């Protein structure tokens, strides 16, 4: 904390230095204002939703606000601040000295109330009548009176300094720090021989620090730039822990040895739902300027993120370029290309041997290497032609293609390729200042969208030869064997997408205007056999702005959002 | 057929159905600013938000006397089991209404001194009690003070 305060103090001093220089200049304008007051809050019944960002107490509190602005011929300095209560505070400093220096520093603090998941839906028993029995799911709230809330503080700062007019060499530095403290709910889930959820209160104490520095310059006719960024997240709160029950038969409580072999841990108190310690570094190069008959802008980015606790990392290379050129006085072309290569470490999952040493020969090693669905090469290319058809009307047509190659998901060398074709048309219409309209339609056709590596349905396991050679003649079906029975691809990703948007503004005079519009989206997947998976959303909106005379300003509006998702629901069928 | 004795665990595959999950959100707002005199300004805001979401009733196929996968159809009687899910659709019900009023004024007592006062009332009605229990509640905040310009 001391280190952070030192960094912020240095940052503030750098921002205040130009102010001292500005004060030496004669003339100009200085304005101050101070607001001193108080507020009273009163809550009734459940407070955490309606008063989500309040402290939640019935109390009088002092409140304070201030503004300061100093303006000279060549400089501007502003300072704003507002104190609502001890956890809701905001302040911002802006400095600009000609084209040589700009700086901004901001502090925001807020509190967020959080409810407690009562887990009431997590309660089930396989058989209720006549004698309750079979598998069971229960829950336990260990802290029913818990008052969860988190205090979030954010410090941001950004400075830019022109070091040379020759080539416009400019240095920049920025930082962002987020501190979170308080308490939160964590839920431990125990194994299936004694399925229950346990809710516990855990402390929150984590911080994110992000630093960025870079340089921009003009080289010949191009603007070039480089950015280096570093971000770290760490948790200082103790890990939450929970007790995992001894392994035993879910109904009669016996067969401890058999059930112990099916789980990785049991009869132990262990940490759960722990936070990682992550670190990310990135490098970014950018280039833009006139090229040929058009304008070019491009970036190349490399980043690496690592979980310092597990030593697992992901790396990403991305590159993007845009080129804009006029085809004729009324028509221009925008071409875009994007590429990305993402790789994640593939960890080896080392598990105890199931039923190790079993005399019936039915034991199994479940060790495996986990491949990530994030691993991919992705490429996108698009071209959009925008043409002014008449003085009132402009049309735009876009065609695009995207390809995603996931190398190793779900298995090494058995990745899938997704291809997407996009077509889009847009129309802009303007009739003087009175009427404007916008119309857009977009269509996407996707082949082989991402699907889960596991099937949604299960074939019947009872006496199914698919389960041989493990327990070939038994009525038993072990949980692990169910993987062999699964079938039916499932995904929420569509194979067809239709998007529609229309909005119009009518402004008969300067005294009022009306805006009306609607957005819609329909997507569906035709590759899932009998599953009719589709989504529909419609969002109409209407806004009025009325200024009948200089004393009145009235605005009003209505919006509606309708979403419908058609989804499959599947359950396994057991008897015993 | 009575259920098998304890320990004779059997697995008959899975069953499925399709269901719609729908959400509907309405938002209405009204803002007004009125400069009543050179010294006094009044302002007010009303917002109303109504949101509901629910899963259609889940109607699973009747599998009480047959297996799901006909390839392995052994004619097993599952009438002793309960594979109805009448209450599943209520698990994710969401239904709340939020009404909020705000009124305020500022009055310039002198060219450099202004009195301000405002208040806000918000009322939430929760008709479903999803996840966190019944979240119905209300709050108001009243605020006043003086602004000094230098």
Answer yes or no: is pLDDT of A89 > 90.
Answer: yes
Answer yes or no: is pLDDT of A16 > 70.
Answer: no
Contacts of residue B126, defined as CB under 8 A and 6 or more positions apart, other chains included, come to A46, A49, B95, B96, B134, B135, B136
pLDDT band, residue B91 (cuts 50/70/90):
confident
pLDDT band, residue A237 (cuts 50/70/90):
very high
Token pair 């199914």 is found at A464
Mean pLDDT of A293-312: 97
Token pair 């290379």 is found at A317
Report the candidate in A184, A307, A287 with the shortest Cα–Cα distance to residue A239. Answer: A184
Give per-residue pLDDT as tens, A37-73. Answer: 999 999 999 999 999 999 888 999 999 999 999 998 8
Element (H, E) at A259: helix A256-260
Select, from the ranges A2-11, A446-455, A505-514, the one with the highest average predicted confidence (pLDDT). Answer: A505-514
Confidence at residue A24, expressed as pLDDT on a 0 to 100 scale: 58
What is the C-alpha to C-alpha distance for residues A197 and A185, in angstroms, rounded to an integer?
A: 12
Answer yes or no: is pLDDT of A208 > 90.
Answer: yes
Q: Between B65 and A426, whose confidence is greater?
A: A426
Percent of chain A at pLDDT > 70 equals 92
Burial degree of A86 (CB within 10 A; 0-12, 13-18, 19+): exposed
Q: What region does A93 belong to: left with phi over 0, alpha with psi -120 to 50, or beta?
A: beta
Is residue B114 a part of any domain in this protein? yes
Q: Does A458 touch chain B (CB under 8 A)?
A: yes
Confidence at residue A535, expressed as pLDDT on a 0 to 100 scale: 97
Is residue B64 a part of any domain in this protein? no
Work out how many domains chain B is built from and give that number.
Answer: 1
Q: Taking CB atoms and an 8 Å cutoff, what residues of chain B touch A33? A: 147-150
Give per-residue pLDDT as tens, A248-274. Answer: 877 777 777 778 887 888 889 999 999
Give per-residue pLDDT as tens, B21-63. Answer: 999 999 999 999 999 999 999 999 999 999 999 999 888 887 7
The per-residue b/e assignment along B79-107, b for 16 or more CB within 10 angstroms, e otherwise, is eebeeebeebbeeeeebbbbbbebebbee
Describe chain A by its helix, strand, coil percentages, rounded to 5: 5, 60, 30
Burial degree of A157 (CB within 10 A; 0-12, 13-18, 19+): buried
pLDDT band, residue B4 (cuts 50/70/90):
very low
A179 backbone dihedrals φ, ψ, rounded to 5°: -115, 130
Q: Measure CA of the first residue to CA of the last residue in chain B; give whole Å.
A: 90
Give per-residue pLDDT as tens, A155-177. Answer: 999 999 999 999 999 999 999 99
Query: A-contacting residues of B 16-45, CB under 8 Å?
Result: 16-36
Mean pLDDT of A269-298: 96
Confidence at residue B63, expressed as pLDDT on a 0 to 100 scale: 75
A567 and B5 in contact (C-beta within 8 Å)?
A: no
Percent of chain A at pLDDT > 90 equals 68
Mean pLDDT of A227-245: 95
Confidence at residue B7, expressed as pLDDT on a 0 to 100 scale: 42
pLDDT band, residue B2 (cuts 50/70/90):
very low
For B14, the closest of A44, A117, A570 (CB atoms) is A570
Report the candidate in A216, A225, A230 with the shortest Cα–Cα distance to residue A174. Answer: A230
Query: For A65-69, A90-94, A226-230, A257-261, which range has the lowest pLDDT when averaged over its residues?
Result: A257-261
Mean pLDDT of A276-303: 97
Is residue B11 a part of any domain in this protein? no
Q: Measure CA of the first residue to CA of the last residue in chain A; give whole Å.
A: 57
Write out the residue range of the structural domain in which residue B144 sits: 21-57+75-148
Report the candidate in A401, A475, A39 with the shortest Cα–Cα distance to residue B12. Answer: A475
Selected residue of B1, B4, B11 to mutate for chain A interface (largest A Cβ count, 10 A): B11
Cβ contact (<8 Å) for B126 and A49?
Answer: yes
pLDDT band, residue A350 (cuts 50/70/90):
very high
CB-CB neighbours of A332 under 10 Å = 17
Element (H, E) at B101: strand B94-110
A475 and A463 in contact (C-beta within 8 Å)?
A: yes
Report the candidate in A154, A216, A229, A158 with the shortest Cα–Cα distance to residue A15. Answer: A158
What tokens does A143 get?
A: 């802290």
- Residue A15 CA neighbour count, 13 Å, CB half: 25
Is residue B53 a part of any domain in this protein? yes
Cβ contact (<8 Å) for B23 and A561?
Answer: yes
Q: Between A408 and A62, whose confidence is greater?
A: A62
What is the C-alpha to C-alpha distance for residues A228 and A434, in angstroms, rounded to an integer?
A: 48
CA distances from A466 to A63, A102, A254, A473 (A): 71, 70, 29, 12
Answer yes or no: is pLDDT of A391 > 50.
Answer: yes
Confidence at residue A343, expressed as pLDDT on a 0 to 100 scale: 95
Confidence at residue A484, expressed as pLDDT on a 0 to 100 scale: 84
Cβ contact (<8 Å) for A51 and B71?
Answer: no
Answer yes or no: is pLDDT of A376 > 70.
Answer: yes
Give per-residue pLDDT as tens, A462-482. Answer: 777 777 666 555 566 777 778
Mean pLDDT of A302-331: 97
What is the C-alpha to C-alpha distance for residues A31 and B147, in angstroms, rounded to an integer?
A: 13
Token pair 């069971």 is found at A136
What tokens does A486 get?
A: 């699964």
Query: For A14-23, A40-49, B49-58, B123-132, which range has the lowest pLDDT when averaged over its residues?
Result: A14-23
Give per-residue pLDDT as tens, A481-504. Answer: 788 889 998 898 999 999 999 999
- Strand bridging mode A133-141 / A195-219: parallel
In chain B, whose CA is at the least distance from the CA of A568?
B18
pLDDT band, residue B77 (cuts 50/70/90):
low
Contacts of residue A74, defined as CB under 8 A and 6 or more positions apart, other chains included, come to A25, A97, A98
Confidence at residue B5, expressed as pLDDT on a 0 to 100 scale: 35
Q: Taking CB atoms and an 8 Å cutoff, what residues of chain B touch A251? A: 6
Query: B-contacting residues of A 177-236, CB under 8 Å?
Result: none
Confidence at residue A176, expressed as pLDDT on a 0 to 100 scale: 98
Report the candidate in A304, A293, A302, A373 with the shortest Cα–Cα distance to residue A333. Answer: A293
B104 and B43 in contact (C-beta within 8 Å)?
A: yes
Alpha carbon of A51: minimum distance to chain B alpha carbons (Å): 7
In chain A, whose CA is at the least distance from the CA of B56?
A566
pLDDT band, residue A142 (cuts 50/70/90):
very high
DSSP structure class, residue A370: P
Selected residue of A199, A248, A460 to mutate for chain B interface (largest B Cβ count, 10 A): A460
List, as one string, the DSSP characters of A303-363.
Answer: EEEEETTTTEEEEEEEEEEEEEEEEETTEEEEEEEEEEEEEE---EE--PPBTTT-TTS--
Element (H, E) at A401: strand A393-405
Strand, helix or coil for residue A260: helix
Strand, helix or coil for residue A10: helix
pLDDT band, residue B131 (cuts 50/70/90):
confident
Is residue B137 a part of any domain in this protein? yes
- Strand bridging mode A75-85 / A59-72: antiparallel
What is the C-alpha to C-alpha distance for residues A70 and A78, in angstroms, rounded to an integer?
A: 6
Answer yes or no: is pLDDT of A104 > 90.
Answer: yes
Confidence at residue B6, expressed as pLDDT on a 0 to 100 scale: 38
- In the predicted model, what is the mean pLDDT of chain A? 90
Alpha carbon A172 to its chain centroid, in Å, reads 27
- In the predicted model, what is the mean pLDDT of chain B? 85
Is residue B105 a part of any domain in this protein? yes
Give per-residue pLDDT as tens, A436-462. Answer: 999 999 999 999 999 887 889 988 777
Mean pLDDT of A336-362: 88
pLDDT band, residue A8 (cuts 50/70/90):
low
Confidence at residue A87, expressed as pLDDT on a 0 to 100 scale: 94
What tokens does A249 get?
A: 């038969």
Query: For A12-21, A372-381, B76-85, which range has the lowest pLDDT when averaged over its residues?
Result: A12-21
Give per-residue pLDDT as tens, A512-540. Answer: 999 999 999 999 998 888 788 999 999 99
Q: Between B6 and A181, whose confidence is greater?
A: A181
CA distances from A87 to A100, A394, A496, A552, B118 (A): 36, 50, 47, 36, 21
What tokens does A26 get?
A: 């004669």
Is residue B99 a part of any domain in this protein? yes
Is residue B79 a part of any domain in this protein? yes
What tokens does A7 get?
A: 């960094």
What is the C-alpha to C-alpha distance for residues B118 and B129, in angstroms, rounded to an integer?
A: 32
């Amino acid at each position: 904390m001391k280190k952070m305060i030192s960094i912020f103090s240095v940052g503030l001093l750098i921002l205040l230095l130009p102010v001292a220089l500005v004060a030496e200049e004669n003339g100009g304008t200085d304005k101050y204002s101070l607001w001193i007051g108080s507020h009273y809050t009163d809550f009734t019944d459940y407070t955490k939703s309606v008063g989500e960002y309040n402290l939640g107490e019935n109390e009088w509190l002092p409140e304070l606000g201030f503004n300061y602005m100093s303006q000279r011929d060549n400089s501007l300095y502003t300072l704003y601040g507002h104190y609502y209560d001890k956890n809701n505070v905001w302040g911002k400093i802006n400095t600009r000295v000609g084209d040589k220096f700009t700086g901004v520093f901001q502090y925001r603090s807020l509190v967020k109330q959080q409810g407690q998941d009562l887990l009431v839906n997590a309660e089930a028993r396989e058989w209720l009548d006549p004698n309750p029995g079979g598998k069971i799911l229960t829950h336990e709230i260990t802290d029913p009176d818990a008052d969860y809330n988190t205090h979030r503080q954010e410090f941001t700062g950004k400075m830019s300094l022109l070091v040379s007019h020759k080539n416009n060499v400019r240095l920049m530095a920025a930082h962002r720090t987020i501190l979170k403290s308080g308490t939160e709910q964590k839920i431990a889930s125990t194994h299936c021989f004694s399925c229950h959820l346990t809710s516990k209160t855990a402390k929150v104490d984590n911080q994110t620090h992000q630093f960025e520095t870079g340089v921009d310059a003009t080289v010949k006719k191009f603007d070039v730039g480089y950015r280096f960024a570093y971000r770290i997240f760490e948790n200082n709160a103790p890990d939450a822990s929970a007790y995992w029950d001894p392994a035993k038969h879910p109904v009669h409580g016996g067969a401890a040895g058999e059930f112990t072999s099916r789980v990785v841990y049991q009869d132990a108190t262990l940490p759960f739902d722990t936070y990682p310690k992550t670190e990310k570094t990135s490098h970014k190069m950018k280039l833009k300027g006139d090229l040929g008959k058009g304008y070019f802008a491009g970036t190349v980015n490399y980043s690496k993120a690592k979980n310092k606790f597990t030593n697992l990392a992901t790396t990403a290379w991305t590159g993007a370029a845009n080129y804009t050129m006029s085809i004729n006085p009324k028509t221009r072309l925008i071409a875009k290309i994007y590429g990305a290569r993402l790789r994640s470490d593939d960890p080896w999952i080392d598990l105890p041997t199931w039923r190790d040493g079993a005399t019936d020969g039915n034991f199994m090693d479940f060790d495996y290497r986990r491949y990530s669905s994030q691993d991919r090469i992705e490429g996108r290319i698009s071209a959009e032609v925008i043409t002014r058809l008449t003085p009132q009307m402009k049309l735009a047509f876009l065609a695009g293609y995207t390809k995603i190659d996931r190398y190793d998901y779900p298995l090494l060398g058995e990745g899938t390729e997704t291809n997407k074709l996009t077509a889009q048309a847009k129309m802009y219409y303007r009739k003087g200042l009175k009427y404007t309209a916008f119309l857009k339609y977009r269509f996407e056709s996707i082949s082989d969208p991402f699907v889960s590596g596991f099937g949604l349905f299960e074939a019947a396991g009872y006496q199914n030869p698919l389960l041989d050679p493990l327990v070939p003649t038994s009525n038993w079906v072990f949980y692990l064997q169910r993987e062999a029975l699964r079938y039916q691809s499932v995904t929420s990703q569509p194979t067809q997408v239709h998007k529609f948007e229309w909005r119009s503004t009518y402004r008969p005079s300067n005294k009022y205007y009306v805006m009306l519009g609607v957005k819609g989206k329909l997507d569906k997947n035709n590759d899932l056999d009998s599953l009719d998976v589709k989504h529909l959303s419609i969002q109409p909106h209407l806004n009025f702005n009325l200024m009948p005379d200089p004393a009145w300003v009235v605005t009003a509006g209505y919006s509606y959002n309708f979403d419908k998702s058609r989804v499959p629901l599947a359950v396994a069928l057991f008897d015993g | 057929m009575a259920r098998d004795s304890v320990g004779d665990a059997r697995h008959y595959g899975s069953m499925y159905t399709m269901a719609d999950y729908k959400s509907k959100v309405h938002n209405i707002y009204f803002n007004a600013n009125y400069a009543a005199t050179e010294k006094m300004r009044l302002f007010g805001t009303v917002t109303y938000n109504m949101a509901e979401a629910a899963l259609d009733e889940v109607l699973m196929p009747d599998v009480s006397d047959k297996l799901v996968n006909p390839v392995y159809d052994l004619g097993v009687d599952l009438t002793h089991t309960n594979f109805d899910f009448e209450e599943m659709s209520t698990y994710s019900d969401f239904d709340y209404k939020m009404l909020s009023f705000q009124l305020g004024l500022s009055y310039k007592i002198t060219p450099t001194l202004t009195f301000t006062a405002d208040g806000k009332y918000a009322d939430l009605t929760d008709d479903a009690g999803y996840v966190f229990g019944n979240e119905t509640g209300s709050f108001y905040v009243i605020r006043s003070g003086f602004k000094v310009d230098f």
